[in-house]
Amino acid sequence: MDNYYEFVEDDQNSAQAAIENSMPPDIPVRSQLEEMNESIIKSISRENNFSNITFINLFHNKIKKMNGLSELVNLKTLILSFNEIEEIEGLEKCVNLIKLDLHNNFIR
C-alpha cells in the first residue's frame, strides 16, 4: 500500500498539519554512560551468556571507567574510542581479543 496525502482544500494550514503529522518522532539524545560494568552489559545485550559475545562497539558514550570484561572470554573486537576512559579492567581474560580500539580516551 502506497502512502499518499490527499488535500481536499487548498489550505496551507491543512497541508502543514499533514506534513507535521507524518514526520518521525524526535529521537532522544543518546544517553551518556559514566561506567560500563557487567550489569549494564547484561541489560543491553541480547545474549544471556557472555561467552557468546564476540563484538562490542561502545564508541562515543562518555564512558569513564570500563570493567566487567572478565566474562567476555570469546570477545574478538572491542571498540571504545572517543570516550573518557581513564581505567579499564578485565582485559587479561579476553584471550581471543583481536581488535581493541581505545583511541581518543584518557588512559595514561
Per-residue pLDDT tens digits for 3-21: 444 445 555 566 566 556 5
Task: Give all strands (DSSP E) within 1-108, no chain letters.
Answer: 35-36, 55-57, 65-66, 77-79, 87-88, 99-101
pLDDT recorded at residue 36? 73
pTM score, whole prediction: 0.64
pLDDT per residue as tens digits for the range 32-53: 667 777 777 777 666 678 888 8
Beta bridge partners of 99: 77
- Listed residue (66, 65, 64) closest to 56, CA to CA: 66
- Listed residue (107, 108, 99) closest to 63, CA to CA: 107
**Is the pLDDT score of 73 beyond 80?**
yes
* Rounded CA separation 93/108 (Å): 21
* Rounded CA separation 84/52 (Å): 27
**Is the pLDDT score of 108 beyond 70?**
yes
